[in-house]
Amino acid sequence: MTKTLAKIQILVGTNDEFKQEKRATGVDYLVKDNIDFAKEINADGVLLSDLDSDLSTIRSSHPNLLVGGLAINLADCKNWELKNVDFIQFAIPSNNSKQNIILGSEILQDIIPREEEYGWMILSLNKPVFVNGVTNLEELKSIRAKTNIYGVVLTKQFEINSALEKRISMVSNLFH
């Protein structure tokens, strides 16, 4: 990886969607699973959802592209780490259940705890982990207090009534 990771990531799905967004500083713009589209819009990186993806081919043909892996459980996190991605996005299930946020936070707390209890933990991750699926600042504060997440993926559901610039500012303040 030649780029420095920002603490905030935004997934871009379509060209029209990307044109509607004013490109913010301190944010990495990512495309999920579409390297050609990522190159077309000059995205900062690509998020892969398929563990069978050939990272060596991606890295050789796009050396300046951040490459991340989408994880929904601990096994995915460890497998992406073994594949040597630049970062891991941990997706909290999004069925608007407080229970899912709590369970997602507990999994993150196990693999990237705020404080190491044993000095060396076999389950801990050495790659930056971003949380995806948080819908408001209070949930993010709770997860941040319990875990050592590197950053967050801002979705349209995060603080839906706030402008993008305000959402970026709120999150940036939390990670400084």
Domains of the chain: 8-175 (3.20.20.70)
Residue 99 confidence (pLDDT): 47
Share of the chain above pLDDT 90, in %: 36
pLDDT over 80 (residue 34): yes
Whole-prediction pTM value?
Answer: 0.83
Residue 89 confidence (pLDDT): 94
Residue 107 confidence (pLDDT): 61
Residue 92 confidence (pLDDT): 77
Confidence of residue 175 (pLDDT cuts 50, 70, 90): confident
Closest listed residue to residue 138, CA positions, set 109, 105, 107: 105
Please name the residues in contact with 136: beta carbons below 8 A apart, sequence gap of 6 or more. 158, 159
H/E element, 41: none
Helix (H/G/I), strand (E/B), else coil: 102: helix
Residue 21 confidence (pLDDT): 63
Write the pLDDT tens digit of every residue in 61-99: 999 999 999 998 888 888 999 999 999 999 876 655 454
DSSP 130-151: EEE---SHHHHHHHHHHB---E
